[in-house]
Amino acid sequence: MWTFSAAVFLLIITPGPGVLSTAGVGAAFGKEAGLRYVIGLFIGTNLVALAVVTGLAAIVFSVPFVRSILLVLSVLYLIYLAFRIASAGAKIAFIEAKSKPGILNGIALQAINPKAYAVNTTLFTGFAFMPEAFLSETLIKFAIMALIWIPIHLAWLAAGIFVEQLNLDPKVQFRINIAMASAMMIVVSLAVFSLIGGK
């Protein structure tokens, strides 16, 4: 169980689209939008976990055509989300983000987030500590993951909000948002290359 907990911590805290976009939303849009977004991410990651546990994800990803479509959708959506974060602090009217990401955006990100599927598959198919009681083990894993997932994402959100509360010059804030969005796209690119390389 302790090995599983350590794996959860390391897999979740490492930069991925979820935590990076959480910090980005916090920096670009503030606390309220950030909390709504984290709630959406939490719902989304648990839906992905349920898909993994029930085997639905394995069935869906066993069809190469569907897997390719989801990969393209995830990349396009993450580019869109990165653009919204990058443009939120801009004072250039034609690229300024008008709407704040919310719960549905968080759910949508996790539904097509390659890291969410990879992490949940690793955690739920490995690290068996109660092989004779699959249901109990699964429920305990959900609880452990929530206890680790929530503080980590709130910490990333707090970091983003801290940047937002510094009342930086709009140009500096714009550069920070660009940097966060760029970091998110680098992580996405690495995930895409690893998925393609694994085929």
Q: Residue 131: which domain range?
A: 2-197
What token pair was written down for 180?
A: 């966060």
- Contacts from 69-72 at CB under 8 Å and sequence distance 24+? 70/112, 71/114, 71/192, 71/195
pLDDT given for residue 195 in this prediction: 57
Residues (pLDDT < 70) of the chain are: 15, 67, 88-98, 187-188, 190-199
The count of structural domains within the chain is: 1
pLDDT given for residue 196 in this prediction: 61
Q: Is 55 left (phi over 0), alpha (psi -120 to 50) or beta?
A: left
What does the radius of gyration of the chain's CA atoms come to, in whole angstroms?
17
pLDDT given for residue 92 in this prediction: 41
pLDDT given for residue 95 in this prediction: 41
Cα–Cα distances in Å, from 89 out to 26, 72, 101, 105?
12, 27, 14, 19
pLDDT given for residue 98 in this prediction: 57
pLDDT given for residue 154 in this prediction: 96
Residues 152, 156: Cα–Cα separation, whole Å: 6
pLDDT given for residue 72 in this prediction: 76
pTM: 0.77
